[in-house]
Amino acid sequence: YTIQTKNEKISDIITRAGGLTISADVEGGSLKRENTAILGIDKTKSDTAAIAQERVDRLNRLKRNYKDSTNNENVQPRNNYVGIDLTKILSAPGSKIDLLLEDGDVIRIPKQQQVVRVNGEVLYPSAVVYNKSKSFKEYVLNAGGFSANALKKRAYVVYPNGTVKGSRKFLFFVNHPNVKPGSEIFVPVKPKATVNSIATILGFTSGIASLGAIILGIVSVIKR
């Protein structure tokens, strides 16, 4: 669909498309937007190859300017999905959450989904049938459980609409996010232990051992 006015919003396009079908997953509705404006790329260019090359050139310039802080291993692909709540948008069309559309925007509304994908540091990455009574950990167990290298406290959920929610740690407890149909659970890998971290652990354990020896010495003196 072409944008007819500069004030056209998400709800307007959905109305023009005839509305949603009975099998539509409203909560999974997403908006994909190319972040060309953020990168400073001329959006009037029609040659996609030229746009792609310009992105590469800009990234290379950034790498040269920030050589010490930029590492190829740390470069993450840009997420072009804008987290939207289509249920609220359709219940309040024209509101602030009903975003204005831009050229190239893609609105995707999937069918109602019945699986949850579990990936990352699990023993058997797979798709698990959704059950609202299952917890985050139960989905992970259905994928074989956490691997030995799993960074459990940093596990997160990517929802069908593009939003992401991470786990939270409180004292010794880790609260994992709720899981919805069509979501993807991702468990990251633990960072490799460095020389400094090993030295810190050794220093901590030796400190505890020294403290224990002092306590034993005090106890033996008291008994005398």
Strands 115-120 and 126-129: antiparallel
Q: What are the residue ranges of helices labelled H in the chain?
A: 10-16, 36-39, 48-65, 86-91, 136-142, 195-223
Q: Do 99 and 177 share a domain, yes or no?
A: no
**1 occurs within a structural domain:** no
Q: What is the pLDDT of residue 14?
A: 94
**210 occurs within a structural domain:** yes
Q: Do 103 and 50 share a domain, yes or no?
A: yes
> Is pLDDT larger for residue 64 or for residue 215?
215
Tokens coding 54:
């310009």
Q: Do 22 and 58 share a domain, yes or no?
A: yes
Does 194 have pLDDT greater than 70?
no
**157 occurs within a structural domain:** yes
Domain of residue 135, CATH code: 3.10.560.10
Q: Do 55 and 137 share a domain, yes or no?
A: no
Q: Express each pLDDT in 114-153 by its tens digit.
A: 999 999 999 999 999 999 999 999 999 999 999 999 999 9
Domain end residue (candidates: 108, 129, 145): 108
Q: What is the pLDDT of residue 75?
A: 40
Q: Do 29 and 104 share a domain, yes or no?
A: yes
Q: Do 130 and 100 share a domain, yes or no?
A: no
**149 occurs within a structural domain:** yes
Domain end residue (candidates: 62, 90, 108): 108
- Half-sphere CA count of 198, side-chain side, radius 13 A: 4
> Is pLDDT larger for residue 138 or for residue 43?
138
Domain count within the chain: 3
Q: Do 120 and 183 share a domain, yes or no?
A: yes
pTM for the structure as a whole: 0.62
Q: Express each pLDDT in 68-109 by its tens digit.
A: 443 444 444 456 888 889 999 999 999 999 999 998 899 999
Q: Do 212 and 179 share a domain, yes or no?
A: no
Mean pLDDT of the chain: 80
Q: Could you list the residue range(s) of the whole structural domain that residue 45 is in?
A: 10-108
Positive or negative CA dihedral for 59, 62, 68, 70? negative
Q: Do 97 and 121 share a domain, yes or no?
A: no
Q: What is the pLDDT of residue 81?
A: 83
Q: Do 82 and 131 share a domain, yes or no?
A: no
Q: What is the pLDDT of residue 80?
A: 81
**48 occurs within a structural domain:** yes
Q: Do 27 and 102 share a domain, yes or no?
A: yes
| Average pLDDT of the residues in 3-24 | 92
**What single string gives the DSSP state of each residue in 188-224?**
PBPPPPPHHHHHHHHHHHHHHHHHHHHHHHHHHHHH-
Tokens coding 166:
């991470």
Q: Do 101 and 126 share a domain, yes or no?
A: no
Closest by alpha carbon to 56, among 79, 75, 82, 80?
A: 75
Q: What is the pLDDT of residue 83?
A: 82
Does 208 have pLDDT greater than 80?
no
pLDDT band at 18 (very low <50, low <70, confident <90, very high): very high
Type and span of the H or E element at 175:
strand 173-175
Q: What is the pLDDT of residue 139?
A: 96
Q: Express each pLDDT in 45-66 by its tens digit.
A: 445 566 566 656 655 655 555 4
**4 occurs within a structural domain:** no
pLDDT over 90, % of the chain: 49
CA distances from 111 to 115, 182, 188 (A): 12, 10, 28
Domain end residue (candidates: 59, 80, 108): 108
**2 occurs within a structural domain:** no
**211 occurs within a structural domain:** yes
